[in-house]
Amino acid sequence: MEAPKLELDFTYALQAGKAVQQIMQGAAAEERQLADELQQAWRTLQSRQGAGNDFLGWIDLPGRTSAAELQAMQARAAELRAKSQVFVCIGIGGSYLGAKAIIEALKPAFSLGLSGGPEILYAGHQLSEDYMHELLAYLDGRDYSLCIISKSGTTTEPAIAFRLLRAHLEKKYGKEEARTRIVAITDARKGAMRQLADREGYTAYVVPDDVGGRFSVLTPVGLFPLAVAGIDIQALVQGAAAEAADVAEAGNDWKRNRCLQYACYRQWCYRHGLGVELLVNYDPRLIYMAEWWKQLYGESEGKEGKGLFPASVSFTTDLHSMGQYIQQGPRMLCETVLSLAQGHAVVEIPTDAENGDGMNFVAGRRMSYVNAKAEEATCTAHSAEGGVPVLRVVLPTLDEGVLGRLIYFFETACALSGYSMHVNPFDQPGVEAYKKQMFKLLGK
């Protein structure tokens, strides 16, 4: 069954929403330049002639990922599942955020893993010594396997983590068994990790040359750890393929192309002086989806002095902290809400005869009803009273198919938004600056 579609709701998007809707109706003289630039961005993406065009492999990726490839990954993943209480994903940035976002979205809140699968832990995404010490101690008493994910194969943080964890694993199981518990995901030819994987005979999957780190969640970078976790990667890829088909069919039609509409909304906000886009969730399962999204947009657009700063908040939690700033601080924010239409469980609020807490006004209601009202109320307060444009991206439910759609939607909109600002959305030259300074200090 095809994954249900995402919907964009501009009800609370104020002038930004009106502008997008006028453009969608074709009557937008004052928005002509914005509309033209986004149409040009669409043509640039389609022609594959724009900046960074050697990194456009993500566009056709869902459609060209075969069931056989996915099954082979699932079979190898099953071997590791069978003998691992813990699976450690080593990687940073685009090499771990996508998998973590999907696992966090689908994993039961109070279970270590998904239905009988191993607990998924992460390493190589920072340099904390205490974290590593505690991780190694935790692994002392557990059966585990490792996955090292690095496209370049030379990134410092995962390389250090892998050196430590490989040594721990080999000491625990011996070199032969350790070899069967390590999977490498890296470049087909280049990089230290490729050489090591070939030399040691690790199972190795390839990060395609034409897919950059932050666009790589639907390659083995995301798919293999997800398969180990027990996520249905076939449904995830099918969801992304369905979104890709919708986008291709919609073409440059403003009324049908959700990616163009979202890119237009955020560009309108940016061009009208708003500096920060908040990705908002009303469910903690989506916190890491925002972390993935922040990397996607921050690294793709934040260059040449341009770009909305991507930030995130979790509601209603942050309504009791950041809510004050959003409501009354400097008017530099726009919001994009991940609005979940339907959860999985039913929890009704009971009636209390004494009504000591005064909460009987919601007795008999489901928690999702109260959450939905909190979302509606917050959208109104922030937009109508606070002047903050709020776009809602409605997710019909939270499953693999919908998440596949969401990933592809955000990736395409990101490329369009970046091209419309005349930046290369597929490079990240600024990331080198800290590395240069660090290597100087470390004497590399």
Give the separation between CA 345 and CA 153, rounded to whole angstroms: 42
Q: Contacts with ligand PA5 in 316-375 (CB under 6 A)? A: none
Q: Which of 37, 291, 299, 411 is catalytic?
A: 299
Q: How far is the CB of 184 from ligand PA5 (least distance, A)?
A: 11
Q: How far is the CB of 161 from ligand PA5 (least distance, A)?
A: 11
Residue 435: active-site member: yes
Strand order of the sheet with strand 7-9?
A: 7-9, 390-395, 333-340, 276-281, 309-314
Q: Which of 30, 129, 176, 320 is catalytic?
A: 320
246 scored as a contact of ligand PA5 (CB under 6 A): no
Q: Contacts with ligand PA5 in 208-227 (CB under 6 A)? A: 212-214
418 scored as a contact of ligand PA5 (CB under 6 A): no
**Site for ligand PA5 (CB under 6 A): which residue of 158, 222, 323, 386?**
158
**Site for ligand PA5 (CB under 6 A): which residue of 155, 312, 378, 417?**
155
Give the separation between CA 217 and CA 96, rounded to whole angstroms: 8
Q: Contacts with ligand PA5 in 294-323 (CB under 6 A)? A: 299
Output DSSP code: residue 5. P
Of residues 23 and 204, the one with the C-beta less far from ligand PA5: 204
424 scored as a contact of ligand PA5 (CB under 6 A): no
Q: How far is the CB of 94 from ligand PA5 (least distance, A)?
A: 3
Sign for the pseudo-dihedral over CA of 77, 80, 84, 88: negative
Distances (CA, A) of 338 to 7, 58, 262: 10, 23, 13
Tokens of 120: 């998924």
Q: Which of 133, 171, 175, 435 is catalytic?
A: 435
User: Tokens 């660090």 appear where?
Assistant: 438
Q: How much is the CA Rg of the chain, to the nearest whole Å?
A: 23
**Site for ligand PA5 (CB under 6 A): which residue of 152, 327, 380, 397?**
152
What's the gap between Cα 289 and its chain centre? 4
User: Tokens 């925002």 appear where?
Assistant: 290
Strand order of the sheet with strand 182-186?
A: 119-123, 86-90, 144-150, 182-186, 203-206
Give strand pairing partners of 88. 121, 146
Q: How far is the CB of 195 from ligand PA5 (least distance, A)?
A: 15
Of residues 97 and 236, the one with the C-beta less far from ligand PA5: 97
Residue 125: active-site member: no
Give the separation between CA 274 and CA 268, rounded to whole angstroms: 9
- Closest-approach residue to ligand PA5 (CB): 213
SS3 state of residue 12: coil
| H-state helical runs in 230-335 | 233-250, 258-271, 287-301, 323-328
What would the x/- binding string for ligand PA5 be over residues 58 to 97, using CB under 6 A?
A: ----------------------------------xxxx--
Q: How many other C-beta atoms are found inside a 10 Å radius of the C-beta of residue 73?
A: 22
Distances (CA, A) of 355 to 158, 227, 360, 418: 54, 48, 6, 54
Of residues 152 and 316, the one with the C-beta less far from ligand PA5: 152
Q: How far is the CB of 444 from ligand PA5 (least distance, A)?
A: 16
> Which range in 26-34, 108-116, 207-215, 399-407 contacts ligand PA5 by CB under 6 A?
207-215
428 scored as a contact of ligand PA5 (CB under 6 A): yes
18's CB contacts (< 8 A; 6+ apart) are none
Residue 344: active-site member: no
> Which range in 27-35, 144-152, 172-180, 331-339 contacts ligand PA5 by CB under 6 A?
144-152
Q: How far is the CB of 299 from ligand PA5 (least distance, A)?
A: 5
Give the separation between CA 251 and CA 233, rounded to whole angstroms: 27
Give the separation between CA 322 and CA 214, rounded to whole angstroms: 28
Of residues 8 and 92, the one with the C-beta less far from ligand PA5: 92
By CB under 6 A, the count of residues binding ligand PA5 is: 14
SS3 state of residue 7: strand
Q: How far is the CB of 16 from ligand PA5 (least distance, A)?
A: 28
By annotation, the residues acting in catalysis are: 299, 320, 435
Residues at the interface with ligand PA5 (CB under 6 A): 92-95, 150-152, 155, 158, 212-214, 299, 428
